[in-house]
Structure 1
Amino acid sequence: MYIDCHIHIALMGERTKEYRDRILMGDFFPLQEVLKKYKDKNILYLRDGGDRYGISLKARELGKEFGMVLKTPVYAFSKKGKYGNFLGIPISGMDDFNREFKNLLKLKPDHFKLIISGIVDFNYPDRVTEELNFAFDEIYYMIQKAKDKNLRVMVHANSSKAVQAAVKAGADTVEHGYFISKEELYLMAENDVIWVPTVSPLGNLIEKEDKKFKNQLENIRRIYLKHIENIKEAFELGIKVTVGSDAGTYGVDHADGFFNEIRHLKNTGLDEAKIMDKVFKNGIRLFL
């Protein structure tokens, strides 16, 4: 039995619009097909990143029929006008947050997701599109409000600043975590944070030599190798690393993404059996 701790069941790569439109029209067969694919590959525990359409909520319900557990934050919170608005609710400040958080609780989220940075910028070997989108006091406030409701907190964070803020504010998991230093690795180790490094979105592009990114592949390769280096050190430090494939995003297919991620993690030098053991033990904690 396997666990994927970071998927996007509302996304289907380049076919997202067609896939999503069918679901929103009440045709749940595409969603059932995705769940069946996971089940057929024995990936029975799924942790979603949320969406603004209620698709992951429906998937949670359907997953029970397949004997699976899908946990969802329902939707994510992000800074208005910054990255992540398509995954949920964009907020301008804490008044917005308080109002929307009350609405969220009515939908019974399994965890809380907060997006505090942008994404990897493939045009450069060392940049994210947005380094930090909230003030630390805001991040701390939102995370503690979620914890007051006994919700685990997953934080999308790329850059040293974003990962430091996430960990210091009380995040349970750091999602992605690109462009970090040893300082952030030590911080995650000290605070018993689970790291979900999502290597497949970059690693798969490199393996396929994706022509869509032919002018950026060298940057992508450099970013990937540095990330692998950080993950290797994380294993050595005893940081709780687990598998999150980012399945549903461009180039990462549902269910196959789990095995892509394991393959990429092997580039740390750790053998597959040890990786499987570690990522399962660390990942299952998020479902208990």
Structure 2
Amino acid sequence: MPNVFLDYYFQIPPISRTITLTTTVLYCLSSLNIVPPYKLIYVRALLIPQVWRFITPFFTIVGQPINFAWDTFTLHRLSTSLEALFPTPATYATFLATSIITVNILNLYLTSFLLFPSLLGALSYYYSTHLPADTKVGILFFQIPVRFYPYALMAMDFLMTQDTAGVKAMGMGVLGGHMFVYLDEVLPAVGGRKWISAPAWLERLLGTGRASGGVSTESAGTGRRPGSSGAGASTGSSTGSSFFGSSGTWGKRSGGRRLGD
């Protein structure tokens, strides 16, 4: 059994493996009060010298174990699917870093304590912009065009929680994801300079091979960039009752509630 677990663990693409493990470790430490949750959340007045607070809020989940299990599963499936869309693990890491930096800048003014929804917002935005426009995704009992997916999540979070905390955090993540797409794809496509690329040292550290697995219709739609071809890619496909169809409660389960609710 341990070998089966380890085999599966090391089959997960490296960046997805790292962020899923980080989220799990932080939840365990905070739940056991080895590290109090307050030490992990975003508090602007404590950012200096507690610089880890720029990072840990993105991987901190508070709540019951069932909520943690679902949120972590969602993060794992979404991240694993998206990592296969990027040419190298270093490029995916650069996407995450760009999104996190953008959210941190926005959060200086908007101040969300928990930024896990921001991470999911950035991932869902990238997903929504890299599938054919007529692809459908399931949100509970509804099928919607994939391009509306992040915004449907935010609307559902607000309806379920009657609180803007998760919506605000996820919205910052959407802007973070858009920043990367704009600098990496949109601006160069219209003749502008390509402002962002994976550093050479990060390429050497993480390797240059594309993550295996791809994006299946069971998890995250199709596994191709616009204009590319590949098995399993289809236009007008539907994810039906995939994990995306059940993920409309992301913000409600974690960042959509204020700490202590």
Higher helix share: 2
Higher RCO (Cα < 8 Å, 6 or more apart): 2
TM-score by length of 2: 0.28
TM-score by length of 1: 0.26
Higher strand share: 1
